[in-house]
Amino acid sequence: MSGFFYMLLGASLVFGLNLLRLRYASFIAQNPQDYVGDSVEFDLRQHLNGPIDCEGVIYGPFGRVTSRFVGAFNCEWTGNHGVMREKFTYDDGSIQNREWSLTLDENGMIKALAPDVIGEGTGVQSGSSVQLKYRIRMPESAGSHVLDTVDWLYLAPNGNIINRSQFRKFGIQVAELVATMRPVNATSKGAL
């Protein structure tokens, strides 16, 4: 057989193995069922409630940090409906204000609305995690692209939350966000 055949065979094998890795061993392969039965339960009404401080980084498509930020959130719940106001301050000095409207049903399913979200985001609480999927329109300064987003929030044993989000366009990852969120204590500043 020719060298070209072996090159095609090798490329096909690498492509197939990469697809298997993406499907079964990567961030997007996570499933809310993976966290059922955890020893602690993430309850949005409890863990995303009141003033919350946040800090994080955004990675670009090549895995390098492209932006750093701090955030001050305030979350208020009335029954199963919550409003989360977010104020982000980025390392370039820019400020972004966002507001989420969250609705939680009795089965842990989440509906999420925000002005920059296309349609309605959907998610689920499951064990010590929350998954939220939505389409977001980036600000004009970032090209106004619409990106498919998957957020995972993980509850740490001390009540802090670790947030990891990936943003994709045409199925290709273009950015990733990693952040910590923690309740503001009585002596801390930074809440809205």
Q: Is the pLDDT of residue 41 over 70?
A: yes
Does the pLDDT of residue 14 top 80, yes or no? no
φ, ψ dihedrals at 25, nearest 5°: -145, 45
Distance CA 136, CA 151 (A): 12
Assigned fold of 37-183 = Lipocalin (2.40.128)
CA atoms of 138 and 165, how far apart (whole Å): 14
pLDDT (tens digit per residue) in 170-180: 999 999 999 99
Mean pLDDT (the chain) is 86
State yes or no: pLDDT of 181 exceeds 50: yes
Q: Is 5 helix (H, G, I), strand (E, B) or coil?
A: helix
Instruction: Please report the DSSP string for 8-37 in residue order.
Output: HHHHHHHHHHHHHHHHHSSGGG--GGGGTT
Q: Is the pLDDT of residue 23 over 70?
A: no
Q: Which residue has the higher pLDDT, 29 or 164?
A: 164
Q: How is residue 132 written in tokens?
A: 């939220």
Nearest residue to 88 via CA among 154, 27, 139, 133 = 139
Please report the sign of the dihedral spanned by the C-alpha atoms of residue 70, residue 112, residue 157, residue 26.
negative
Burial of 133 (0-12, 13-18, 19+ CB in 10 A): middle
CB-based contacts of 78, cutoff 8 Å, min separation 6: none
Specify the pTM. 0.79
pLDDT tens column, 88-147? 999 999 999 999 999 999 888 999 999 999 999 999 999 989 999 999 998 887 778 899
Can you say whether the dihedral through the CA atoms of 110, 114, 117, 118 is positive or negative? positive
Determine which helix (DSSP H) or strand (DSSP E) holds 46, and give its type and residue range: helix 44-47
- Residue type for position 137: R
The pLDDT of residue 18: 55
Secondary element (H or E) of residue 115 = none
pLDDT cut 90: percent of the chain above it? 65
* pLDDT for 15: 65
135 burial class (0-12, 13-18, 19+ CB within 10 angstroms)? middle
The share of the chain scoring above pLDDT 70, in percent, equals 83
Q: What is the pLDDT of residues 142-165, one digit of tens each?
A: 778 899 999 999 999 899 999 999
